[in-house]
């Protein structure tokens, strides 16, 4: 039997006193260095060498999206422990749903169509499906240093005289920082595999219409590629998935056009005064909603000033530690009202940085919308005026136009930008968002738009009994989205729009978005109260 030893690097944990390791970093490494030994591979032949697999006839492909009643909702987060709030008397309150873009994906009940179901309407059939999906749960990104900085500040404070923690913060005396950077967490990998399995159950029958192997797309970033591969392993078959489809990996980096990471092609989206404008209103709101938490928690820690920024870091650590380690003691430090405040803090940032309230949002989502229209019309793109990649998108090999199933992996901000470019006005119905209070019945909720493993699905349907036989509709995290913001799409209880009307409306919307100006022009942030559709006012 092969014994494998896990080596732990504990740079700050050599002493037993609390002040020597509170907030320090624990770095694990697996596989161990030197564990690879190709000489013993002959002892472990693969399945093709062993043989004796036995008969494995396949059954028919499932099509649960047509027949599943009731539709099975995504709610569970096994194997994570569901956290409680500080006043967790209401067992129906789900702290995880308050984490904004750090929330695990859950099924949204409605975006304004209470009678609509993800199951396709009776009398319709499924022709094609287009999936735009966010990567799975991850560790903090390299441009999100706040959680690790919190650990550094706690460690520095614990190294000085006068540091003490009591009550609910007593755990900080022995708490260590255990998070990685950028990559998927174990739950992130498991979640993507499960979503791949679920997608096969819902849309597997469409595989019968393929005449060649599918082409799925993702970007070169580690967590993006790992998400795509884990999804494919669930959607296809774990031992053969690598030969069941073509995985296209598009370079994600500065000076590379990529509709799945369009911010690299839009300089204004990366500027502090335009692209990060959401930091201003969200910061103002944080100064309001966290005041009570600061008064309550500060007496429990001596030697460290709990600023508003540090309290936000603690709320983020709740989310990151839970999806990485399975639980977090930071979660139950905050009340339900404070968790609702945090969700709105993220909502403000999204609305004003990559949503309807930012002048670059529609421009960033434009490229994917152009690709969607190209796929729907089976017409090659011939105008290159956005983040589309003319090298890849002009080839029928890397950008096929006849697939019944399309799968693309992207980022949270891109999901938000694409929804803005598509002019999903129901999401913006209660905007612009105020920075001094949470509006009642708000329509823009970031955890419902771009959570971990968030999914935007376009269903192309055949409805023979209708005057127009082919329709399209959109599901955002299982919630059916009204398409009344698109010219030519009328109100429909199931969210349906005749495909020719949708395409015509999208051509009009595409013509309204000025990518060159909104992404490259030298302008200051316009009055945010005058932006509702993600475009710079003329």
pTM reported for the whole predicted model? 0.92
Alpha carbon distance 410, 354 (integer Å): 14
The single residue listed with the structure tokens 């998935």 is: 241
| Long-range contacts of 85-93, Cβ-Cβ distance < 8 Å, separation of 24 or more | 85/331, 85/332, 85/334, 85/335, 85/336, 85/338, 85/339, 86/168, 86/332, 86/333, 86/334, 86/335, 86/338, 87/335, 87/336, 88/332, 88/336, 90/336, 93/336
**Average pLDDT of the chain, as a whole number:** 91
- The answer to whether 532 and 356 are in contact (CB under 8 A) is yes
> What Rg value do the Cα atoms of the chain yield, rounded?
24
Q: For 189-223, how does the pLDDT look when each residue is reduced to its tens digit (9 = 90+)?
A: 999 999 999 999 999 999 999 999 999 999 999 99
> 427: burial class by Cβ within 10 Å (0-12, 13-18, 19+)?
buried
Alpha carbon distance 24, 174 (integer Å): 9
Q: For 137-177, how does the pLDDT look when each residue is reduced to its tens digit (9 = 90+)?
A: 999 998 888 899 999 999 999 999 999 999 999 999 999 99
The single residue listed with the structure tokens 């690879």 is: 36
The CATH code belonging to domain 1-113+123-138+146-156+180-538 is 3.40.50.1240
Alpha carbon distance 139, 319 (integer Å): 10
At 20 the pLDDT is: 60
- The lowest-confidence range among 88-102, 304-318, 518-532 is 88-102
State yes or no: pLDDT of 12 exceeds 60.
Answer: no
- Please count the other Cβ atoms lying within 10 Å of the Cβ belonging to residue 84: 15
Alpha carbon distance 347, 340 (integer Å): 10
State yes or no: pLDDT of 436 exceeds 80.
Answer: yes
Question: Binning pLDDT at 50, 70 and 90, where does residue 89 land?
Answer: low
Alpha carbon distance 170, 442 (integer Å): 37
State yes or no: pLDDT of 418 exceeds 90.
Answer: yes
At 320 the pLDDT is: 97
Q: For 107-141, how does the pLDDT look when each residue is reduced to its tens digit (9 = 90+)?
A: 999 899 999 999 999 999 999 999 999 999 999 99
- The answer to whether 258 and 250 are in contact (CB under 8 A) is yes
At 11 the pLDDT is: 33
At 165 the pLDDT is: 97
Alpha carbon distance 471, 121 (integer Å): 11
State yes or no: pLDDT of 31 exceeds 60.
Answer: yes
Nearest to 480 by CA among 492, 468, 470, 469: 492
- Please count the other Cβ atoms lying within 10 Å of the Cβ belonging to residue 2: 8
At 56 the pLDDT is: 62
State yes or no: pLDDT of 408 exceeds 90.
Answer: yes
DSSP 330-390: TGGGS-HHHHHHHHHHHHHHHHHHTSTTSTTHHHHHHHHHHHHHHHHHT-------SS--H
DSSP 416-448: HHHHHHTT-GGGGTT-SPPSSSPPTT-S--HHH
State yes or no: pLDDT of 8 exceeds 50.
Answer: no
**What proportion of the chain, given as a percentage, has pLDDT over 90?**
79
Q: For 286-332, how does the pLDDT look when each residue is reduced to its tens digit (9 = 90+)?
A: 999 999 999 999 999 999 999 999 999 999 999 999 999 999 999 99
Alpha carbon distance 261, 277 (integer Å): 19
State yes or no: pLDDT of 5 exceeds 80.
Answer: no
- The lowest-confidence range among 82-91, 112-121, 441-450, 480-489 is 82-91
Distances (CA, A) of 160 to 14, 89, 164, 165: 17, 38, 10, 13
Alpha carbon distance 506, 262 (integer Å): 19
Tokens of 508: 């009009």
State yes or no: pLDDT of 267 exceeds 80.
Answer: yes
Question: Binning pLDDT at 50, 70 and 90, where does residue 10 land?
Answer: very low
């Amino acid at each position: 039997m092969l014994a494998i030893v896990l080596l732990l690097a504990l740079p700050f944990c050599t002493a037993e006193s609390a002040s020597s390791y509170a907030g320090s970093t624990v770095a694990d490494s697996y596989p161990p260095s030197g564990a690879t030994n190709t000489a013993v591979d002959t002892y472990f032949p693969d399945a093709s060498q062993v043989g004796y697999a036995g008969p494995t006839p396949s059954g028919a492909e499932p099509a649960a999206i047509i027949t599943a009643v009731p539709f099975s909702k995504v709610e569970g987060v096994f194997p994570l422990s569901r956290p409680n709030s500080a006043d967790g008397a209401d067992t129906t309150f789900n702290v995880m749903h308050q984490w904004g873009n750090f929330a695990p994906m859950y099924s949204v009940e409605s975006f304004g169509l209470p009678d609509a179901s993800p199951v396709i309407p009776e009398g319709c059939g499924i022709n094609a499906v287009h999936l735009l999906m966010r990567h799975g749960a991850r560790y903090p990104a390299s441009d999100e240093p706040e959680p690790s900085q919190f650990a550094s500040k706690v460690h520095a404070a614990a190294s000085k005289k006068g540091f003490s923690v009591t009550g609910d913060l007593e755990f900080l005396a022995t708490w260590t920082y255990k998070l990685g950077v950028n990559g998927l967490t174990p739950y992130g990998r498991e979640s993507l595999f499960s979503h791949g399995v679920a997608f096969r159950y819902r849309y597997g029958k469409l595989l019968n219409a393929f005449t060649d192997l599918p082409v799925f797309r993702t970007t070169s970033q580690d967590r993006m590629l790992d998400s795509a591969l884990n999804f494919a392993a669930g959607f296809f078959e774990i031992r053969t998935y690598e030969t069941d489809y073509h995985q296209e990996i598009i370079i994600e980096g500065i000076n590379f056009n990529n509709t799945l990471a369009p911010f690299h092609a839009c300089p204004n989206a990366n500027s502090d005064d335009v692209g990060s404008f959401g930091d201003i209103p969200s910061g103002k709101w944080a100064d309001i909603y966290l005041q009570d938490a600061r008064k309550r928690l500060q007496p429990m820690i001596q030697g460290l000033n709990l600023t508003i920024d540090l309290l936000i870091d603690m709320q983020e650590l709740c989310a990151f530690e839970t999806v990485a380690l399975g639980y977090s003691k930071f979660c139950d430090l905050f009340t339900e009202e404070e968790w609702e405040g945090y969700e709105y803090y993220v909502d403000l940032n999204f609305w004003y940085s990559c949503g309807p309230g930012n002048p670059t949002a529609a421009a960033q989502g434009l490229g994917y919308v152009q690709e969607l229209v190209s796929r729907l019309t089976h017409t090659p793109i011939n105008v290159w005026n956005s983040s589309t990649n003319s090298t890849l998108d002009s080839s029928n090999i890397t950008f096929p136009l006849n697939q019944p199933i399309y799968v693309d992996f992207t980022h949270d901000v891109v999901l938000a930008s694409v929804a803005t470019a598509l002019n999903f006005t129901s999401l913006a119905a209660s905007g612009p968002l105020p920075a001094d209070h949470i509006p009642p019945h708000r329509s823009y909720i970031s955890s419902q738009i771009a959570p971990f493993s968030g999914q935007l699905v376009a269903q192309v349907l055949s409805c023979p009994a209708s005057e127009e036989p082919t329709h399209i509709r959109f599901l955002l995290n299982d919630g059916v989205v009204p398409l009344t913001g698109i010219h030519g799409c009328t109100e429909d209880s199931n969210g349906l729009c005749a495909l020719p009307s949708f395409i015509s409306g999208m051509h009009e919307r595409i013509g309204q978005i000025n990518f060159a100006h909104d992404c490259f022009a030298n302008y200051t942030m316009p009055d945010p109260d005058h932006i509702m559709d993600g475009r710079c006012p003329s």
